[in-house]
Copies of this chain bind each other. A is one copy, B any other.
Amino acid sequence: MRIGELSDRTATPRRLLRYYEEQGLIVPARSPNGYREYDEYNVDRVLQIRGLLDAGLPTRIIKQILPCLDKPRAIVFADATPEMIATLEHERDRMTERVNCLTRNRDAIAEYLDAVLANRG
Contact = CB atoms under 8 A, between A and B. Distances in A.
B85 A109 contact: no
- Total identical chains: 2
Interface string A78-93: 0010000100110110
B68 A98 contact: no
A48 to B, nearest CB: 8
A98 B102 contact: yes
A108 B77 contact: no
The 5 closest A-B pairs by CB, nearest first: A56-B56, A51-B101, A95-B106, A68-B112, A69-B108
10 contacts: A54-B56, A55-B56, A55-B98, A68-B108, A68-B109, A69-B105, A85-B113, A88-B109, A92-B106, A99-B103
